[in-house]
Structure 1
Amino acid sequence: MKIILTSVFVDDQDRALKFYTEVLGFVKKSDVSAGEYRWLTVVSPDDQNGTELLLEPNSNPVAQAYQKGIFEQGIPAASFGVEDTHAEYERLKERGVKFTMEPTEVVGRVTIAVFDDTCGNLIQIQTMPK
């Protein structure tokens, strides 16, 4: 068994697609009309047949409350692995990304940083020790 799809709620699918592709560097995988919304996924450019991230509209009041609650508590909605958290932090800062946590070493020499995805979520990047 493997994870093939996970999602983050977004308050604007077009803005989310732009941020996740143009700023973060993901690649659009699926963009299918689903009524007033879209089935909109992105993938890592390094693994285009890997796990898809669904940019899911947060039109449901329960989704809105969840998204708002974890954001206000500083809890990331997703975590992405990077080769070097410090280098990725600098690259994303140069692109205007707003971080709520600078690179920080936590338990087990894992380095994390957290940023605002502009669509209602905090996202964590992390480097695992080798």
Structure 2
Amino acid sequence: MLTNIMYVTLHVTDQDRALRFYTEQLGLEKRVDHTGPDGRFLTVGVPGGPVEIILWPQAAGGQRADVRAGTTVGPVFLESDDLRKDFETLRDRGVTFEQAEPEDYPFGVRIEAVDPDGNRIALRQRARASRTDG
């Protein structure tokens, strides 16, 4: 039986640049950095979280689908408990966003960030459950 998502892979043209972006700008932590017969296996993750993002090398100009801003969500979703506050922190760190501000939507708050290789990172905050007295 499946129990967990282990890895999500993002293709990057420069693993060191990607590592700096995901750790220094987004605030993730480096988990694995091992060079083996298939190349460098490099992962990052949310501190304390179970899922790791593999930053896998891709040659510059590699085939990627043409993604237009606002039309496709990122392959990675990171959850926040206060996305508007996190947005301010990330923007101050130089993270590029596709929108000027986080947007409210029926299930919470959202915004899309973009890494140096053009990978979209979906940032989400779930809607708070409303209480009804009965």
TM-score, structure 1 as length reference: 0.83
CA contact (8 A) 1:15 1:119 kept: no
Q: State the alpha-carbon separation in 1 of the partners of residues 20 and 123 from structure 2.
A: 19
Q: State the alpha-carbon separation in 1 of the partners of residues 30 and 44 from structure 2.
A: 4
> Is 1:29 matched with 2:31?
yes
Q: State the alpha-carbon separation in 2 of the partners of residues 34 and 119 from structure 1.
A: 23
Moved over 6 A (4+): none
Which residue is 1:69 aligned to? 66
Q: Which of the two has greater helix per residue? A: 1
Which residue is 2:19 aligned to? 17
Instruction: Give the percent of matched residue pairs that are identical in Structure 1 and Structure 2.
Output: 31
Unpaired runs of at least 5, structure 2: 129-134
> Is 1:93 matched with 2:91?
yes
Post-superposition shift, 1:120? 2.3
CA contact (8 A) 2:26 2:95 kept: no
Q: What is the count of residue pairs matched by the alignment? A: 123
Post-superposition shift, 1:79? 1.4
Unpaired runs of at least 5, structure 1: none
Which residue is 2:54 aligned to? 54
Which residue is 2:132 aligned to? none
Larger radius of gyration: 2
TM-score, structure 2 as length reference: 0.81
CA contact (8 A) 2:8 2:76 kept: no
Q: State the alpha-carbon separation in 1 of the partners of residues 51 and 88 from structure 2.
A: 25
Deviation digits for residues 12-44 of structure 1 (CA, Å, limit 9, x no counterpart): 100000111111111111111135731000111
